[in-house]
Amino acid sequence: MPLILYRYFLREQTIPVGLCLVGMIFVMITGRLFQLTRYLFTSSVTFSDIVEVMAYIIPQMALYALPMAAFLGVQLAFVRLNGDNELIALRTAGISFRQFFPPVAIMLTTVTLLAMWNSLLILPLANHALENKLKSLGKASIPVLLQEGLFITTIPRLTFFFQRVDTATLDIEGVFIQDQRNPSVKATIVAETARIISQKQASQLVFKLHNGVITRIPEDYKNSQLVSFKDYDLVLSLDEIFGGAKNQTKSRFEMTMQDLIRAIRHGGHESFESYALEFHQRLALPLSCLLLGFIAPPLGALFHRKSRLAGISTGVIVFLAYYLSLLAGRALGENRLLPPLWAVWTSNLLCACAAFWLWTKVQTETPWKITRFWSTAGTGRKPDTPAHAPASETAPASGEGKGSILTPSSACNDNRFQNGGASAASSSRRKSRKPR
């Protein structure tokens, strides 16, 4: 295929891939921001804080948006080319479908390298920075989040309810606190009044409670305690609540690939699956841009101008099937029903097999039974039976076998055959005439 066609195919793929990537990241960030409203929409949070949080979220969103953008963008490009009969024109000129492989491979390889760079280098740093930013926002927003008549669950494993709150003096009336920081004991505190004192230098939040009752109930509901008090200080360490400097242990989402390898080798048996799944997922998701993207060209070449919407819908269904299989594999891996390697890589292996089968199918131009079934549905005839031919005349003529495709050369041969037959008939009539 000429070099000018390579550039043309690359340009046709770049625009839809870029638009799909921007659209998917925007949708994912919007959904993520709704989950962070308790941090972002308070009076102590500025616009620059929101922009910074969005910048830290983008690498995580791009990890899932890049495979979908590569798949849908390439498919949209081929649906457009096939709908405008450009693929038919190129194949009529002698260019096989297999020759479209290099420009598609260049585009998908570029997206895969971008996804690999994001997954291996940018993602751990962004997750660590996002965690620290949310901790600082949470510490700054504690006095603002104390609202009247609402159950406040901002602080993990703690639930607050205040009947009346004076935001100026931080005096509270009607206090209810449920403490679940100790999983084996559930503690409930009810008090008439309280005052909040924030000790920033000591990184502590102190609730000075007055005239209340403390109830402690263990898991086995034995040895329950009920204690009344006149004055009680509930001290909450901000480092303990939000994971401050005293807790330097990174979560697996903040670890680099080297940290994950060390955690897999030296970690306990219980944490092996979580670290191994995270390790394989950071490699499998970027490679899915390549393997899942190769399904798009033959899938897009099946739909013509009138069925573009069906092509787009099919692409979305295929990606959802891939994503659901990935989630199912991860769930099986976390429950130790599958090894982490098979739990993550099975979806990519299925995509590779599907891509090879589809490219072979389109290259050899073999018939599609599914498309023939839908085209004949409701007509009351078999898929291989012509629409207006009796059953005895359904046998294909020579050169017109089942699934054959009419090409310009075959059309010329048919015209020569018909013209040759007509000339032979006219010459026989001339010979049969008697001379006068």
pLDDT tens, 264-278? 887 655 567 888 898
> What span, in angstroms and rounded, lies between the C-alpha atoms of 173 and 342?
56
Is the pLDDT confidence value at 105 over 90? yes
337 shares a domain with 300: yes
pTM of this structure: 0.65
Taking residues 337-353, what's their average pLDDT? 91
Is the pLDDT confidence value at 110 over 90? yes
187 shares a domain with 48: no
267 shares a domain with 133: yes
Q: In the prediction, which pLDDT does 123 show?
A: 92
Q: In the prediction, which pLDDT does 421 show?
A: 47
Residue 61: name the closest of 36, 24, 35 by CA.
Answer: 24
Taking residues 29-35, what's their average pLDDT? 74
117 shares a domain with 16: yes
Domain boundary among 186, 217, 242: 242
Q: Do the domain assignments include residue 392?
A: no
260 shares a domain with 238: no
159 shares a domain with 99: no
Q: Which SS3 state, helix, strand or coil, does residue 196 take?
A: strand
Q: In the prediction, which pLDDT does 36 show?
A: 63
Q: In the prediction, which pLDDT does 403 show?
A: 39
158 shares a domain with 110: no
Q: In the prediction, which pLDDT does 212 show?
A: 93
The proportion of the chain whose per-residue pLDDT surpasses 90, expressed as a percent, equals 24
Q: In the prediction, which pLDDT does 387 show?
A: 45
Q: Do the domain assignments include residue 144?
A: no
Domain boundary among 364, 390, 415: 364
Is the pLDDT confidence value at 385 over 90? no
Q: In the prediction, which pLDDT does 218 show?
A: 86
Q: In the prediction, which pLDDT does 436 show?
A: 45
> What span, in angstroms and rounded, lies between the C-alpha atoms of 287 and 119?
11
Q: Do the domain assignments include residue 430?
A: no
Q: Do the domain assignments include residue 248?
A: no
352 shares a domain with 279: yes
Confidence of residue 425 (pLDDT cuts 50, 70, 90): very low
Confidence of residue 86 (pLDDT cuts 50, 70, 90): confident
114 shares a domain with 46: yes
Confidence of residue 5 (pLDDT cuts 50, 70, 90): confident
Least confident window among 89-93, 228-232, 329-333, 339-343: 89-93
Q: Using the 8-state DSSP alphabet, how is residue 248 labeled?
A: -
Residue type, 210: H
| Residues 19 and 73 sit within 8 Å (Cβ to Cβ) | yes
Taking residues 389-395, what's their average pLDDT? 44
| Residues 219 and 237 sit within 8 Å (Cβ to Cβ) | no
Q: Which SS3 state, helix, strand or coil, does residue 143 take?
A: coil
Task: Tell me the torsion sign for CA atoms 244, 249, 255, 256.
Answer: positive
Tokens representing 194 are: 């309280």
Instruction: Name which residue leads in pLDDT, 415 or 144.
Output: 144
Q: Do the domain assignments include residue 321?
A: yes
Taking residues 184-203, what's their average pLDDT? 79
Q: Which SS3 state, helix, strand or coil, does residue 416 take?
A: helix
110 shares a domain with 62: yes
Taking residues 11-36, what's their average pLDDT? 85
Residue 254: name the closest of 26, 55, 56, 51 by CA.
Answer: 56
Q: In the prediction, which pLDDT does 391 show?
A: 43
Instruction: Name which residue leads in pLDDT, 140 or 26.
Output: 26
Q: Which SS3 state, helix, strand or coil, does residue 214 take?
A: strand
Tokens representing 211 are: 């005239």
Q: In the prediction, which pLDDT does 413 show?
A: 47
Q: Do the domain assignments include residue 427?
A: no
Is the pLDDT confidence value at 314 over 90? no
Instruction: Name which residue leads in pLDDT, 394 or 28.
Output: 28
215 shares a domain with 170: yes
23 shares a domain with 106: yes
The proportion of the chain whose per-residue pLDDT surpasses 70, expressed as a percent, equals 71
Q: Do the domain assignments include residue 432?
A: no
Q: Do the domain assignments include residue 414?
A: no
Domain that holds residue 185: 151-242
| Residues 38 and 91 sit within 8 Å (Cβ to Cβ) | no
Domain boundary among 364, 386, 406: 364
| 159 beta partners | 178
Residue 198: name the closest of 141, 131, 133 by CA.
Answer: 141
Q: Domain count of the chain?
A: 2
Taking residues 102-130, what's their average pLDDT? 92
